[in-house]
Amino acid sequence: MNYALATGKSLADALQDARSRTLALVEDLDEQQLMGPRLPTTNPLCWEIAHTAYFHELWVLRHLGSRKEILPGSDELFDSISIQHDLRWDLPLPGMEGILQYMQDVLSAELVQLEQIELEDAAKYFYLLAIFHEDMHGEALTYTRQTLAYPVPRFLQDRTPAEPAGPPANEDIELAGGPFLLGAERDGEFVFDNEKWAHRVTLAPFRIAKFAVSNQEYAEFVEAAGYRTEKYWCREGWQWRCRQELECPVFWNRDSDHTWYARQFDQWHPLALSHPVIHVSWYEAEAYCRWANRRLPTEAEWEFAATCDPDRQNGKGPRKIPFTWTDPPVGQSANLDSSTLGTVPVHDCPGGDSASGCRQMYGNVWEWTGTTFLPYPGFSPDWYVEYSRPLFNQTKVLRGGAWTTRGRMLRSTWRNYYGADRNDVFAGFRTCANR
Q: Which H or E run includes 286?
A: helix 282-291
Residue 162 pLDDT > 60: no
Q: What percent of the chain has pLDDT over 70?
A: 94
Predicted local distance difference test score (pLDDT) of residue 159: 74
Report strand pairing: 260-264 vs 267-270: antiparallel
| pLDDT, average across residues 277-291 | 98
Phi, psi of 242 (to 5 degrees): -65, -40
Residue 157 pLDDT > 60: yes
Residue 264 pLDDT > 80: yes
Predicted local distance difference test score (pLDDT) of residue 326: 42
| Structure confidence at residue 167 as a pLDDT band (50, 70, 90) | confident
In terms of Cβ atoms closer than 10 Å to its own Cβ (0-12, 13-18, 19+), residue 326 is exposed
- For the stretch 105-146, pLDDT in tens is 999 999 999 999 999 999 999 999 999 999 999 999 999 999
Instruction: Give the number of other CB atoms < 10 A from CB of residue 393.
Output: 9
Contact 255, 270 (CB under 8 A): no
Q: How many Å apart are CA 400 and CA 360, to the nearest integer?
A: 8
Instruction: Give the number of other CB atoms < 10 A from CB of residue 233.
Output: 21
| pLDDT, average across residues 300-312 | 89
Predicted local distance difference test score (pLDDT) of residue 304: 96
In terms of Cβ atoms closer than 10 Å to its own Cβ (0-12, 13-18, 19+), residue 41 is middle
Residue 384 is given by DSSP the state: S
Q: How many Å apart are CA 138 and CA 417, to the nearest integer?
A: 16
| pLDDT, average across residues 158-170 | 71
Phi, psi of 299 (to 5 degrees): -70, -30
Predicted local distance difference test score (pLDDT) of residue 325: 40
Predicted local distance difference test score (pLDDT) of residue 122: 92
Considering the domain 3-156 in this protein, what is its CATH number? 1.20.120.450
Length of the chain, please? 435
Where along the chain do its domains lie? 3-156, 159-435
Predicted local distance difference test score (pLDDT) of residue 366: 98
pTM here?
0.96
Sign of the CA dihedral running 57, 58, 61, 62: positive
Instruction: Give the number of other CB atoms < 10 A from CB of residue 49.
Output: 27
SS3 433: strand
Residue 260 pLDDT > 60: yes
Most confident segment among 160-174, 239-253, 328-342: 239-253
384 closest CA partner among 2, 52, 58: 58
Residue 405 pLDDT > 80: yes
CATH homologous superfamily for the domain 159-435: paralog of FGE (formylglycine-generating enzyme) (3.90.1580.10)
Residue 189 is given by DSSP the state: B
Phi, psi of 64 (to 5 degrees): -70, -45
Q: What percent of the chain has pLDDT over 90?
A: 86
Residue 417 pLDDT > 50: yes
Residue 168 pLDDT > 90: no
